[in-house]
Chain A
Amino acid sequence: MLRFIVRRLLWAIPTLFIVTFVVYCALRLATNPLASYARANPRVAKDPEKMAQYVETNGLWPGFSGYVRGYFVWLKGFVTGNWQVSIKGSRPVWPNLKIALVNTIRLGLLAVMVSIPIGLSLGIFAALKPGRLRDTAVNTGAIIGFSVQPFISAIILQLFFGVQWAKWFGEPLLPTSGLYPPGHQGFDPVLMLKYMILPVIVVSIQSIASYSRYMRASLLDVLNSDYLRTARSKGISERRVLVKHALRNAMIPIVTLAALDIGAIVGGLIISEAVFDYPGMGVFFLNAQSNGDFPELMPWMVIITSSVILFNLLADLAYAWLDPRIRLD
């Protein structure tokens, strides 16, 4: 097991190199950092010498070989902690990125904690009586859930709980924007939780839909398997069959799915964050993107891709650990 982990971790390193190089090229092409810099600093842009110096210090040479050299310049700075400063405002990137990351993880984990239990229960509920009304209802509900795009549910919730509620009852039921009221200082979990309710609902709708469907399919698969039929024919009670055999085996693919899902959190909440003005990774990305701020986008992409790769590894491990048929050698 340990050897497997070590080997997989060692494999993750070249993967990260390749992925970050591809991301580097894509982002440089997409944002054109030199032009963004010139736009943000019109006075410097008139001085060819200073521009040339900017190119040299940040490795923004043109052409493919320039990209390769530039990648290593960037990589060296990134690894040694000498990150490039942001184009807009020439600030260090990490402090803001850290805040955004923490906020997003908070929101994402809360959403996972809400959607996994609900989604799995619905899936089990449906799979126990396949083909019946409850099954159809859960299935239909799931498809409706898929069809509700987060930006639509977000603005409709905003309208209802914020604006209309205030019209009817004098004040909004729930805050619809930000993480704290304007001007708030310090850390207040209860207040923050109130601000997170609507974003969590928006994020959860689609995840509940997908978890319920996966759980249903996975459980049905197990319930129809030969070994379960054998267990039943041995006279084991239906309850015991379900808890001891079926659920345990049906959970294996779900754990994998959940791991991948959690890995995607850091980059996956952009839409609801943007609508609710929640200061997380999504808003960070959109701001950096609109400024063509390459030095801010690059670490952002590194974080989300490493998270994906890391949780892919965890998903594999979980799968191998839970499913005895997979041998680790």
Chain B
Amino acid sequence: MTEFQELNHVDPPADLHHDDSIGVLQTSLSPKRMAAKRFVNHRAAFVSAIVLTMIIIFVVLSPITARYGINESIFKAEAGHPNQNLAPFNLAWFGTDSNGRDLYSRIIYGAQVSLMIGLFTAIGSVLLGTLVGGLAGYKGGWLDDILMRVTDIYLALPLLVVLVIVRGMLKNVDWVTAIMGDTSSVRFLVILLTVVGWMGVARLIRGQVKQLKEREFIEAARALGASSSRIMFRHLLPNSVGQIMVALTFAVVGAISAEATLSFFGFGPDAGSGMTSLGLLIRDSKKAVPPGYWWLVVFPGVFFIILSLCINFIGDGLRDAVDPKMQQEVK
């Protein structure tokens, strides 16, 4: 056995240079840690992650961070001393709306609802999309064919049209409304967005699984007698975690944008009892354009842009971290 032991000492440096994605060989970094390192090196993504965390803290701590209640006027309007449509000043940093409510506080409340819708929809879409996409990618066959055909057509149609038509369909089927609640409820909206949103995720995961399936380590597991479910849960899914995270991130932006679009056209959640969302705030700003109440237009809009920008950057950074191929090309 001496012969190969000798060779064994020669062999690490011999093709060390093949592994260009590694960096340092001595330190034992797990793939997870390496991805984390690449993410931190993506400056925009890192900054975005910090900003988003701050936004989330602000939104979660709304009892402390919001200055007024959700439906509360900044003060009681009196003759010659109105509280409506006031430009920003010390009592209302972002001004007040047509009901005399503090826009700053309402953006926090709105972000709460929007982020919740985004998160729940994203989780739902990712669960459903991973299941269907993973199955279609792994098993292939008719399931795969159908998935591809349906999503082809769906992706070709304008999102708003799909949302409006599916919304109308769900609304008119009695047993669906029994489960989903009224069309203006948040639950209905989350389910609607999930029903439409999972397809993009499914395509992404399908592609990833199809690619992984061809790798020899999957075949190795089969040769060891591993069951399909073991291959799915121990090999395919762990190796897709990165892609799933990326899909999740983009699903959140997709959902909050879709919520905003629907709200903008009056298909959003019900604003009764003062409840609001970023989409509803932006819809209200439409009315503020002609009289020139600029704060009602600028603050919700810019806040929304910052929020989606952060999530998009994070998604971009995650994608680079998970799939370093693009960066290597750059080198």
| Chain A residues within an 8 Å CB radius of B257 | 149
User: Using Cβ atoms and an 8 Å threshold, which residues of chain B touch A147?
Assistant: 253, 305, 308-309, 312
Interface footprint category on B: 35 or more
A270 touching B298 in the complex, CB below 8 Å, given contacts A30-B172, A143-B312, A147-B308? no
Interface string of A282-307 (1 = CB under 8 A from B): 00011001000000000001001100
Confirm or deny: B260 has a beta carbon within 8 angstroms of a beta carbon on chain A. yes
- Is A131 touching B289 in the complex (CB atoms < 8 A)? no
Encoded as 1 (CB less than 8 Å from any B CB) or 0, chain A from 80 to 101 comes to 0000000000000000000000
Q: Could you list 14 examples of A-B contacts with CB < 8 Å? A: A26-B166, A29-B168, A149-B257, A149-B305, A152-B305, A167-B292, A220-B330, A268-B158, A270-B160, A270-B161, A271-B160, A275-B286, A308-B157, A312-B156
Interface residue A203 (Cβ < 8 Å from any Cβ of B): no
List residues of chain A with CB within 8 A of the CB of B301: 152, 155-156
Residues of B within 8 A of A (CB): 44, 153, 156-158, 160-161, 164-169, 171-173, 253, 257, 260-261, 264-265, 282, 285-286, 289-292, 294, 297-298, 301, 304-305, 308-309, 312-313, 316, 326, 329-331
Contact of A159 among B160, B264, B297 (CB under 8 A): B297
Residues of A within 8 A of B (CB-CB), count: 48
Specify the main secondary structure of chain A where it touches its partner: helix
B161 pairs with A267, CB closer than 8 A: yes
Q: A270 CA to B260 CA in the complex, in Å? A: 14
Q: What's the Cα separation between A159 and B288 when bound, in Å?
A: 9
What are the 6 A-B residue pairs with the smallest beta carbon separation, nearest first? A30-B168, A147-B309, A152-B301, A147-B308, A163-B292, A308-B156
Q: How far is the CA of A306 from the CA of B291 in the complex (A)?
A: 42
**Which chain B residues border A237 with CB–CB below 8 Å?**
none
Q: CB-CB < 8 A to B172: which residues of A?
A: 29-30, 32
Contacts of B305 in A (CB 8 A): 144, 147-149, 152
Q: Which of A131, A148, A224, A270 contacts B158 (CB 8 A)?
A: A270
Residues on A facing B (Cβ under 8 Å): 19, 26-27, 29-32, 130-131, 135, 140, 143-144, 146-149, 151-152, 155-156, 158-159, 162-164, 167, 217, 220-221, 224, 260, 263-264, 267-268, 270-271, 274-275, 285-286, 289, 301, 304-305, 308, 312
Contacts of B330 in A (CB 8 A): 130-131, 135, 220
Q: How far is the CB of B300 from chain A (nearest CB, A)?
A: 8
Are B294 and A164 interface neighbours, CB within 8 A? yes
A220–B308 CA distance with the chains assembled, in angstroms:
27
- The answer to whether B304 and A149 have CB atoms under 8 Å apart is yes
